């Protein structure tokens, strides 16, 4: 074989290897997920959903099926780690996964691609935070129910994750809150404007910005005067927290949110691709 031909064949082989190396992981992931979704949903998991996550019973049958399929993939792919002596059980995995997967229904691709681990504490957990007042820095110890990190972790209090699942009508759900942050963090820093390719094809970023800024300003006014309302004043801290808070209410009190701010509800309906007010 002459040198030019050998060089050409070697180059062709290199391109083939690189191409297969680039595409095989994606193809393999899709194949594995398809097999997971085709497996029967475990009876024990079905029992957990029935007793611990009553919101699922209100969902249309097709969405219930899709949720269960997403859960099977989520539980297989994401690592659950117990903290502070907690032993993670299947019940914990199912309860957390059910709530997290509500946010990613009706989407052909994407299942928190950057998320690697869910760290679960028995209850509220303490963290150290550095605060600056002018030029003075001070360390403060805070008790949290949940936290989302852009590095690929979500941290949850099991007590509060279970409480949010079993009382789905109060508008408070730490799992939905933290996983809304995960969606917001997919592009990097959370700012209350998650990637718009997660919305409907007709999503308008300018309209999203206008509607959300108006609703956020309204909540800040309510919080400033101490006026109680549908939305938790915690969401008035910044746009990222606002997005997480309204996501909780969207899934837990959809009819109330629709009455409170129809435009806000429609933007969330387009983004999450579900209409819980009709469940």
* Whether residues 37 and 79 fall in one domain: yes
CA–CA distances in Å: residue 15 to residues 7, 8, 22: 12, 11, 10
* Whether residues 184 and 195 fall in one domain: no
The pLDDT value recorded for residue 23 is 46
Is 138 part of any domain? yes
* In the predicted structure, residue 2 carries a pLDDT above the cut 70: no
Mean pLDDT estimate for the chain: 89
CA–CA distances in Å: residue 92 to residues 21, 122, 163, 169, 269: 36, 11, 12, 20, 28
* In the predicted structure, residue 75 carries a pLDDT above the cut 60: yes
* Whether residues 125 and 214 fall in one domain: no
Full domain range(s) for residue 60: 30-189
Of the candidate ranges 24-28, 38-42, 176-180, 199-203, the one whose mean pLDDT is the lowest: 199-203
Q: What is the DSSP string of 135-189?
A: TEEEEEEEEESEEEETTTEEEEEHHHHHHHHH-TTSS--HHHHHHHHHHHHTTSS
Q: Which of 147, 173, 189 is the last residue of a domain?
A: 189
Q: How many domains does the chain have?
A: 2
Q: Read off the pLDDT of residues 193-233 as tens digits, 9 standing for 90 and up.
A: 998 655 455 578 999 999 999 999 999 999 999 999 999 99
Q: Which of 126, 157, 189 is the last residue of a domain?
A: 189
* Whether residues 257 and 197 fall in one domain: yes
The pLDDT value recorded for residue 135 is 63
User: CATH no. for residue 154?
Assistant: 1.10.472.150
């Amino acid at each position: 074989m002459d040198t030019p031909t050998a060089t050409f064949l070697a180059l062709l082989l290199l391109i083939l290897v690189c191409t297969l190396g680039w595409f095989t992981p994606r193809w393999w992931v899709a194949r594995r997920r398809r097999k997971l979704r085709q497996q029967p949903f475990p009876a024990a998991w079905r029992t957990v959903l029935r007793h611990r996550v009553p919101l699922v019973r209100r969902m249309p049958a097709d969405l219930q099926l899709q949720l269960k399929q997403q859960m099977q993939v989520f539980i297989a792919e994401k690592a659950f780690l117990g903290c502070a002596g907690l032993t993670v059980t299947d019940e914990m995995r199912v309860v957390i996964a059910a709530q997290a997967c509500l946010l990613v229904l009706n989407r052909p691709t994407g299942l928190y691609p950057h998320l690697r681990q869910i760290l679960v504490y028995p209850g509220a957990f303490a963290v150290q935070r550095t605060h600056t007042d002018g030029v003075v820095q001070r360390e403060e110890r805070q008790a949290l129910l949940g936290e989302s990190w852009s590095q690929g972790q979500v941290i949850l209090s099991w007590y509060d994750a279970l409480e949010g699942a079993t009382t789905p009508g109060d508008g408070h759900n730490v799992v939905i809150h933290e996983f809304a942050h995960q969606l917001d963090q997919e592009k990097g820093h959370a700012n209350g404007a998650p990637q718009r390719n997660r919305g409907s094809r007709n999503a308008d970023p300018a309209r999203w910005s206008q509607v959300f800024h108006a609703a956020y300003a309204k909540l800040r006014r309510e919080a400033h005067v101490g006026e109680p309302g549908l939305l938790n004043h915690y969401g008035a801290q910044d746009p990222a927290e606002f997005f997480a808070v309204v996501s909780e209410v969207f899934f837990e009190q959809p009819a109330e949110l629709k009455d409170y701010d129809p435009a806000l509800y429609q933007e969330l309906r387009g983004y999450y691709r579900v209409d819980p007010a009709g469940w």
